Chain A
Amino acid sequence: EPEVTQTPSHQVTQMGQEVILRCVPISNHLYFYWYRQILGQKVEFLVSFYNNEISEKSEIFDDQFSVERPDGSNFTLKIRSTKLEDSAMYFCASMRAPGTEAFFGQGTRLTVV
């Protein structure tokens, strides 16, 4: 069964460092997402992406964040200068067509120290 895969599963980084979280969406999917979930809190929308462009981004997704689909298979989230409050689980998701079911990767746990 096709699935969304994310790497790494856990990343520890020092405050101020750049991190790149990687995702491989399901191959025939066209809509891609990043979400984050701080421990014990809700799943928060970061960004939606379609046709090599951001469709919508949240207030959380400030200038420190960027997304890219560099090679037609990977979908990456970059945080340029991490803060302690960026510590969270980051989930990638993909969707085949608008309004259809979205499938989530297993997440990357980011710990900023």
Chain B
Amino acid sequence: RKEVEQDPGPFNVPEGATVAFNCTYSNSASQSFFWYRQDCRKEPKLLMSVYSSGNEDGRFTAQLNRASQYISLLIRDSKLSDSATYLCVAFKAAGNKLTFGGGTRVLVKP
């Protein structure tokens, strides 16, 4: 089983709509979680950290469910510029390792 798994998509989203997708992780020792955004042929850029209590940053909301070992990202009022691949990342202290999921591709269309 992969350490971090994501639905590859693509999620085709009308502009202005809401889209949500999950990521599951297999290692219960994972301590911290993040969502990154990656545009084609560019580096991953931090979108937001994910906290147990859930957190929001503008149109983006992230949730962590440790019992079920999944993380979610919700994007409200989607913009064309939100089209990207969204990468779920888990950190475990042993080895200081950051593990990436395969990414979820989101395409926002007019």
Range of interface residues on chain B? 20 to 34
Given contacts A99-B32, A106-B42, A106-B43, A45 and B93 within 8 Å (CB-CB): no
CB distance from A33 to the nearest CB of B (A): 6
Summarize A's interface: helix, strand, loop or mixed.
Answer: strand
Contact A42 B101 (CB under 8 A): yes
Contact B46 A43 (CB under 8 A): no
CB distance from A51 to the nearest CB of B (A): 10
Question: Contacting A55 at CB < 8 Å: which of B34, B87, B95?
Answer: B95
Is residue B83 contacting chain A, with contact meaning CB distance below 8 A? no
CB distance from A23 to the nearest CB of B (A): 12
- CB within 8 Å of A: which B84-98 residues: 87, 89, 91, 93-98
Range of interface residues on chain A? 20 to 34
Excluding A56-B96, A95-B98, 7 further A-B contacts by CB distance (< 8 Å) are A43-B103, A55-B95, A56-B95, A91-B43, A91-B44, A99-B32, A102-B34
17 contacts between A and B (CB under 8 A): A42-B100, A43-B38, A44-B100, A45-B97, A45-B98, A48-B96, A55-B96, A56-B95, A91-B44, A98-B96, A99-B31, A101-B34, A104-B43, A104-B45, A105-B43, A107-B42, A107-B43
**Chain A residues with a Cβ under 8 A of chain B:** 31, 33, 35, 42-45, 48, 50, 55-56, 89, 91, 93, 95, 98-107
**Chain B residues with a Cβ under 8 A of chain A:** 31-32, 34, 38, 41-46, 49, 87, 89, 91, 93-103
